[in-house]
Structure 1
Amino acid sequence: MSDRPVFVIGCPRSGTTMLQLMLHSHPRMAVPPETRFLVPAYYRRRTWGDLRVTQRRRAFAQWIATERSTKFRELKIDKDEFIRQCVEGPGSLGSVLGTAFRMYADRFDKPRWGDKRPSYVKQVDLLLRLFPDAQFIHLIRDGRDCVSSLKEMPWYNLDSFHAVSTWAEAIDAGGRLRRTLPEDTYYELRYEDLTDDPATELKKLCHFLEEDFAPSMVSPREAAQVAVPQHKVWHSNTHSDVLRSRVGSWANRLEDWEISLCEHMLGDRLESMGYELTGAPKPSKEHVIACQKTMQKRKASRMRKAMRDRLNRLREPSPVAALLTSGQCALAGVPHHRPEVTEPAV
């Protein structure tokens, strides 16, 4: 049976939380609420120095467990036991990070863990450095629905041009992943197909994950009580059965100029993913130029970050790849073993 980590990726508001819950409803998989420490820890890895040194691992684990921005508390695992396992575990960045997720899976007596964050779609190379045996599920939704939904979110404070750019970036990143990653590593799934026939799509997904299909995945309401924090009111739909009511609702939620802009800027991408265009009139020149400028600025920012990361890779303070799963250990040529688990003191 597989023990590979699984990441759910995609454009925000693509239904990734629903898919997270479906996976968490599988008897062998645990996928927690969104955490916020994988990517920041990777970019700050020089802060902790050589993680082959016990005290360095302890300091890193304490940061994960106590820094409010990491959302470690959402995992509901024992802080002291987490630090102990990190200190006694392998000396690599991915091993310390992966220990938190493995302990989350242990809470439910499950052998596999996953993680969900839409923005990971643009950070797959980073995640593969940390977890070289990982699998990725890219959930794709009609870009017009994503744009309309993003605009309505209480946490989204950018304009429609950024929302259009966000979907384009996710689709373009997916295209690169499809061309470069092995078939057993990257999987694409359309939100519309998943909500139209959950059982069929989940059976195909389980085949990719090398897991038996579990009927419990089709109705993940129970998992929502565990894996979706109550304060995230924008995920209220996840507490009910799988719904198709929002499919195509962009037609009533976007203004006419936004529909025109989406179909002009995203048209080729939409059609390549099987979405039909309405033939909306061409957008104004001003809107097109504004959207193009937004896309160019975002691309330049990504390229600067990628360049800094390439330079940092030349002087790594310690090993990056995790050594926790059978696949990770096999790739590194080291034996695989599970740590001793101690009960927290009462």
Structure 2
Amino acid sequence: MSLMGNLNRALSATTGLQVRRATPAAPQQPTRTGAKPGKRPTPVYRCPAPGDLATDRLLRRPVFIMSPVRSGSTLLRMLLNAHSRLHSPHELHIRRLEVDFGSRLSQRAMSALDLERGDLEHLLWDRVMHRELVRSGKDVLVEKTPSNAFVHRRIRDCWPDARFVFLLRHPVSIARSWHEGDPDKRTFDEAAADALRYMKAVENARQAASGPADGQPAAHHTLRYEDLTADAEREMRDLCAFLGVDFEPSMLDYGRRDDTQVVKGLGDWRDKIRTGQVQSGRALPAEDEIPELLRPMCEAWGYSS
């Protein structure tokens, strides 16, 4: 008799139990690495009426810099953050802060308060940004995450009194800078195509800001990176006037302030921005250097005829 048979005979006599061979487990399915979850649909939300802002929003009249990647938004936010009344932190990426219901009961409870998932997300966005403003001890918050341009309508719905600053740059210069930032990751053509998504989103936001929302266009101001680097004082004086604050000469020497430190991965952190002063921009591309992919955007922004 086999060892298993002898063991089972002894176990049966003493305990009534037997040892049996386990059924082989089904092979585990390999997990897909790098698979991205499906895009979540935009949640339902309501736009607060002017009379509801006092209870629905802590943050009033926030400022959003709308710009493509590699357009000088970190430089602009450093200049603004050097102002005694303006707080412009690193990129906050608030649109990626999401809320979900842990149960149907919690969803019913919030719905009874007239709060859907989108409304709760807006309350979270508002609270995070208001907390950052209060911690700074300043009066006005300026947010500069480039991807905000993709949700400009929702931002405007969340804060009907929001103000927008559109920062433009020559599209070819944007593509070159995006490519040079990580040439092993993307070719120039790939960089141009990727950056063009941001440019189109910014242009859509710029057009929407000029149109009515609840009967009124959004407060907005447009400036160019090339003008900012050529005459920073003039451009900052104009921008301060739009924001309703006095120009402060110390803004141009932003490196003297300790609270304007850059954070790697949350905006530009390279040597040029770390100098603490505005540096000259690169020469504008010649007309024959504009690829066909970027020509329509160059024309829309006045960089090509």
* Interval containing the TM-score (normalised by the shorter chain): 0.5 to 0.7
Correspondence for 1:126: 154
Match of 2:65 in 1: 8
Partners in 2 of 1:144 and 1:133 — Cα distance?
33
Moved more, 226-235 or 19-28: 226-235
Structure 2 distance, partners of 1:46, 1:229, is 29
Question: Cα gap change, 1:128/1:50 in structure 2, threshold over 3 Å: closer, same or farther?
Answer: farther
Is 1:23 aligned to residue 87 of structure 2? no
What stretches of structure 1 move > 6 A for 4+ residues in a row? none
1:45 matched to 2:45? The reply is no
The one-letter code of the counterpart of 1:39 is R
Q: CA deviation at 1:193?
A: 0.4
Aligned-residue offset at 1:110: 0.5
TM-aligned CA distance change 1:51 to 1:30, over 3 Å: farther
Q: CA deviation at 1:95?
A: 2.7
How far apart, CA to CA, are the structure 1 residues paired with 2:123 and 2:204? Answer: 27
**Which of structures 1 and 2 has the larger relative contact order (alpha carbons within 8 angstroms, sep 6+)?**
1
Displacement after TM superposition at 1:137 (Å): 1.4
Query: Match of 2:242?
Result: 208
Q: Where does residue 220 of structure 1 map in the other structure?
A: 254
Within the candidate set 171, 181, 198, 1:170 is matched to: 198
Question: Which of 170, 180, 185 pairs up with 1:152?
Answer: 180
| Identity score, percent | 24
User: Residue 125 of structure 2 aligns with which residue?
Assistant: 97
1:225 shift after superposition: 5.3
Instruction: Quickly say closer, same or farther: Cα 1:230–1:35, change in 2 above 3 A.
Output: same
Larger Rg: 2
CA distance 1:184–1:92, shift in 2 (3 Å): same
Note closer, same or farther for the CA distance 1:155–1:27 as it changes in structure 2 (3 Å cut): farther
Count of paired positions? 230
**Structure 2 CA distance for partners of 1:178 and 1:34, relative to 1, 3 Å:** closer
More helix per residue: 1
C-alpha deviation, 1:20, in angstroms: 0.9
Deviation at 1:178, TM superposition (A): 3.2
- Counterparts in 2 of 1:262 and 1:162: CA distance versus 1, 3 Å: farther
SS in 1 for 2:71: coil
Aligned-pair distance for 1:113?
1.2
Q: Counterparts of 1:161 and 1:140 in 2: how far apart (Å)?
A: 20
Asked if the contact 1:34–1:115 (Cα under 8 Å) also holds between the matched residues in 2, the reply is yes
C-alpha change, 1:52 and 1:99, in structure 2 (3 Å) is: farther
- Distance apart, 1:144 and its partner CA: 1.4
2:70 matches 1:35: no
Task: Tell me, yes or no, if the aligned pair for 1:32 and 1:227 is still in contact at 8 Å.
Answer: no
TM-score normalised by structure 1 residue count = 0.57
CA deviation after TM superposition for structure 1 residue 50, in Å = 5.0
The alpha carbon displacement at 1:24 in A equals: 0.9
Partners of 1:177 and 1:111 in 2: CA distance:
25
TM-score normalised by the chain length of structure 2: 0.64
Match of 1:274? Answer: 302
Cα displacement (A) at 1:190: 0.5
SS in 2 for 1:45: coil
Cα distance in 2, alignment partners of residues 156 and 126 from structure 1: 35
